[in-house]
């Protein structure tokens, strides 16, 4: 196995089996939506459908990019893409870095035969995009029939990894070149440390249309890396386990910049999803819960997990007296003091 394939296999196993989440929270629990005891709605009146990046979803939920590059990772992609197709959700593949180095791994990222209608997101790291250039990144998008490309930022994880990148210069130029040169929209995405106001304002100036805030409170990549590698890697990963901007704060920062906003990082229930949408997110995305459901019980368990999330979201939309997810933006709420401090 190559180094990248070995790392991906070890990451998938650690995430499925170990305690890899931030110890701090998303701060979504500080958004208390007011209960409406007389909603005057039938559950059948609730319409969760939403148009995101040109595709109509049955609910504004996506499966975050995790996988690809090995046969096992390809199976995971196909299973979770099948879930997205059946439930009308969006789906992202994991980093296509392996495809840049070994084009024969493309098959492990291809899901269009099982998921012809899903909103499909490609994925590449900003450092790899900077090195590969726009034309090769465009090939990654067309090779899998993606509707948009996630460009992921993961400086904290790279610094922890013994073999990680150390030079993050030129990232903004690389993003700008992709925004100008690709025929599909670019989504700039963190990987569990969140996006803050300074980064978001730079991204908006480059014409980036969408972000996935991937904030702190869910999967922590510094925690994952603290479970492998040398003593140095383990120590730094553990010290930085909780580094990052909580998801709830990052959602509000992204909306303040007027960017299309996908909320991820620690979304674990339909209630979390509703709170993220109430803060202004257009859609919500999850990684770890679907990985774990699939690892524990295969396709049926992943389908059940997606069903649980949709049912929970539908219930909260009704219980706030809303009809559609977009109405949650004006649902009455009480916001706790810690989140308010992040937003000042």
Ligand X SMILES: Cc1cc2nc3c(=O)[nH]c(=O)nc-3n(C[C@H](O)[C@H](O)[C@H](O)COP(=O)(O)O)c2cc1C
Interface residues with ligand X (CB under 6 A) are 11-12, 15, 64-66, 94-95, 123, 150, 152, 189, 191-192, 214, 218-219, 264-267, 286-288, 291
* Closest chain position to ligand X (CB): 218
Query: What is the smallest separation between the CB atom of 64 and ligand X, expressed in angstroms?
Result: 3
Specify whether the backbone of 258 is left (phi greater than 0), alpha (psi in -120 to 50) or beta: left
Task: Provide the token pair at 212.
Answer: 């996935």
Q: Which residues make beta-bridge pairs with 187?
A: 150, 210
Contact 129, 95 (CB under 8 A): no
Query: What is the smallest separation between the CB atom of 238 and ligand X, expressed in angstroms?
Result: 18
Burial track 163-196 (b if 16+ CB lie within 10 A, e otherwise): ebbeeeeebbebbbbbbeebebbbbbbbbbbbbb
Q: What is the 3-state secondary structure (H, E, C) of 288-308?
A: HHHHHHHHHHHHHHHHHHHHH
Query: What is the smallest separation between the CB atom of 88 and ligand X, expressed in angstroms?
Result: 19
Query: What is the smallest separation between the CB atom of 47 and ligand X, expressed in angstroms?
Result: 25
Q: Which residues make beta-bridge pairs with 55?
A: 52
Distance CA 120, CA 221 (A): 23
In the bound state with ligand X, the residue whose beta carbon lies nearer, of 152 and 255, is 152
Query: What is the smallest separation between the CB atom of 67 and ligand X, expressed in angstroms?
Result: 7
In the bound state with ligand X, the residue whose beta carbon lies nearer, of 46 and 66, is 66
Query: What is the smallest separation between the CB atom of 195 and ligand X, expressed in angstroms?
Result: 11
Residue 59 sits at φ, ψ, to 5 deg, of -155, 150
Three-state SS at 61: strand
In the bound state with ligand X, the residue whose beta carbon lies nearer, of 91 and 317, is 91
In the bound state with ligand X, the residue whose beta carbon lies nearer, of 217 and 321, is 217
In the bound state with ligand X, the residue whose beta carbon lies nearer, of 268 and 323, is 268
In the bound state with ligand X, the residue whose beta carbon lies nearer, of 88 and 289, is 289
Residue 109 sits at φ, ψ, to 5 deg, of -105, -10
């Amino acid at each position: 196995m190559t180094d990248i394939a070995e790392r991906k296999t070890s990451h998938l196993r650690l995430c499925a089996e170990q305690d890899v989440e931030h110890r701090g929270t998303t701060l979504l629990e500080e958004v208390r939506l007011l209960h409406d005891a007389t909603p005057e709605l039938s559950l059948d009146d609730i319409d969760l459908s939403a148009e995101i990046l040109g595709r109509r979803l049955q609910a504004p939920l996506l499966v975050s990019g995790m996988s690809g590059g090995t046969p096992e990772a390809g199976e995971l992609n196909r299973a979770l893409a099948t879930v997205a197709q059946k439930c009308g959700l969006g789906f992202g593949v994991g980093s296509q870095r392996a495809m840049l180095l070994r084009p024969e791994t493309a098959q492990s990222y291809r899901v269009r035969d099982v998921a012809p209608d899903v909103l499909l997101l490609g994925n590449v790291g900003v450092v790899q995009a900077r090195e590969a250039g726009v034309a090769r990144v465009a090939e990654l998008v067309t090779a899998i029939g993606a509707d948009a490309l996630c460009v992921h930022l993961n400086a904290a994880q790279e610094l922890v990894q013994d073999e990680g990148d150390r030079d993050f210069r030129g990232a903004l130029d690389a993003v700008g070149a992709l925004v100008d040169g690709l025929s599909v929209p670019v989504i700039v995405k963190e990987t569990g440390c969140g996006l803050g106001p300074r980064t978001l304002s730079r991204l908006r100036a480059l014409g980036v249309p969408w972000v996935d805030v991937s904030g702190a409170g869910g999967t922590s990549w510094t925690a994952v890396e603290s479970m492998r590698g040398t003593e140095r890697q383990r120590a730094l990963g553990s010290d930085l386990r909780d580094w990052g901007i909580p998801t709830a704060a990052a959602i509000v920062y992204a909306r303040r910049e007027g960017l299309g906003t996908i909320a991820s990082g620690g979304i674990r229930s339909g209630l979390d999803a509703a709170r993220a949408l109430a803060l202004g997110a257009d859609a919500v995305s999850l990684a770890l819960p679907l990985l774990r459901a699939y690892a524990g019980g295969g396709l049926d368990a992943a389908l059940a997990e997606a069903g649980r999330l949709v049912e929970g979201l539908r219930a909260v939309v009704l219980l706030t007296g809303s009809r559609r997810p977009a109405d949650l933006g004006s649902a009455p709420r009480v916001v706790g003091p810690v989140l308010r401090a992040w937003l000042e």
